Structure 1
Amino acid sequence: ATPAASPTAPQGLLAPPIHSLPVLSESQRSSKMKAMAKEVAGCTRCAQLASTRTQTVFGVGNLQPKLCFLGEAPGADEDKQGIPFVGRAGRLLTDIIEKGMKISREDVYILNVLKCRPPGNRNPLPDEVANCRGYLERQLEILQPKFICCLGTVAAQNLLETTVAVGKLRGEVHDWRGIKVVVTYHPSYLLRNPAAKKYTWEDIQLLMKQMDE
């Protein structure tokens, strides 16, 4: 008999591989994402976030992406515009994608662990992350990317369900439900610590090498 899965095993280990799910057409992806965006816009699971946000920030980009970038949570600019990564950190991410990787930002999909801005840009609380987890997994099940680049501690630790620091997670390829995952520093961290840009460039080179294989 097959041993029962441990109740403490990370959910990502128990759920089926993303690419074993039915492949959706672009129109199916579009309708599913629109319906979920409407659901997210009305979400009140986190009472504080629902009362302080201007709007939810669902995600943006290509609905048939080879690559997704996963961030932490919306900031003030994102909360105003309803689009992830539009402030200074967003401009740096665009440079990483377009100048570093030589692809268009429109070719990838960009989303966050949280769909609402935490007040004062504080770190997301564990229960907030848990409340939003289902949305994140459903988005990735619809998008079915081959690769995910986690930007920063919150994104990496929550997707991979680990407490290991980004400095130790970066530099290698991880697996989440059959998707290859590369971890690097958040663009906002790079703005505060420009010396770390060289490490992010190493991570992006690792990602590009994987994507070219």
Structure 2
Amino acid sequence: MDSQAFDWHWARAALEWQLEMGADEAIGEMPVDRFAAEAEAQAARAAPVPATPQRSAPVKEVLPDPVEVAGDAAAGAKTLEDLRLAMGAFELCDLKRGARNLVFSDGTPEARVMIVGEAPGRDEDLEGRPFVGRAGQLLDRMLGAVGLSRADSVYITNVMPWRPPQNRDPRPEEIAMMKPFLERHVALVNPDVLVIMGNISCDALLGRRGITRLRGTWAEAEGRPSLPMFHPAYLLRNASAKRDAWADMLALSARLKAGR
């Protein structure tokens, strides 16, 4: 058989079969090598998949340690005015945002007696001085009864320089961050005797609470004799405790006289 005739009949039969199958329109202008395309697809599937770059974890902001910042600021204070400015510039205690004034101190820095209270109240916050409300007036009478006064023989400060909201107790973390300032305050004044008034003050300077048990017993804080006493605000609420407070004032007076 003529091979050319066979090719013609074969090609026509193939074309008719494609028409019957619905392939009656040319899509591309050039023929497509399906075998080559399949070979390329298989090669692509066999190729190693490149590693997807991992997202780096978000960098966590490292907040400064308030106690460390306070310690550095306090250590740099060479005078009481330096310390007051350092405390005023300290921004890590939230109490500062709600207070009107920094309550730093009152009295004479050359005094032999330094009284450490707890935190300012409303009157102290308004005036910017410690112990100026009813509790402060009672304290002045107690001091006067044994021949002491702010004017010439007593220096007064607080553990906290800012008033807590609604006069709540300072939180442990607030006490901890302000303690370096208090320690530096005591060192700069360098009193002969510390009077520690109230539980918050005992916590900061003695590391203990329980003023009912602690009061009237001499201890040591910041390297000097220290006498825990009831806070005058407590005495205003509990008149029966004034007898113990009077005994403590007499003990303070005797200690000062013995040390002359």
TM-score category (smaller protein) = 0.7 to 0.9
Give the residue type in structure 1 aligned to 2:90.
C
- Counterpart of 1:39 in structure 2 is 86
- Counterpart of 1:145 in structure 2 is 191
What root-mean-square deviation, in Å, do the aligned CA atoms of Structure 1 and Structure 2 show? 1.4
The match for 2:107 among 26, 51, 61 is 61
By how many angstroms is 1:175 displaced?
0.9
- Counterpart of 1:198 in structure 2 is 243
Identity score, percent:
34
- CA separation in 1, counterparts of 2:222 and 2:80? 20
- Counterpart of 1:4 in structure 2 is none
The match for 2:219 among 174, 189, 209 is 174
Which deviations, in whole Å up to 9, do the C-alpha atoms of 1:62-82 show, x marking residues without a partner? Answer: 111100111000011111100
The alignment of Structure 1 onto Structure 2 pairs a total of residues equal to 181
Give the residue type in structure 2 aligned to 1:143.
V
Unaligned 5+ runs, structure 1: 1-28
Unaligned 5+ runs, structure 2: 1-76
By how many angstroms is 1:42 displaced?
2.3
Classify the secondary structure of the residue corresponding to 2:227.
strand
- Counterpart of 2:180 in structure 1 is 134
- CA separation in 2, counterparts of 1:140 and 1:195? 31
- Counterpart of 1:80 in structure 2 is 126
Which deviations, in whole Å up to 9, do the C-alpha atoms of 1:48-99 show, x marking residues without a partner? Answer: x12101011011121111001110000111111000000000000011111x
Which deviations, in whole Å up to 9, do the C-alpha atoms of 1:174-195 show, x marking residues without a partner? Answer: 1113311111110001001111
- CA separation in 1, counterparts of 2:208 and 2:237? 25
Which deviations, in whole Å up to 9, do the C-alpha atoms of 1:92-130 show, x marking residues without a partner? Answer: 0011111x2112222210000001100000000001001
- Counterpart of 2:252 in structure 1 is 207
TM-score by length of 2: 0.67
Larger radius of gyration: 2
Give the residue type in structure 2 aligned to 1:177.
E
Contact 1:57 1:84 in 2 (8 A): yes
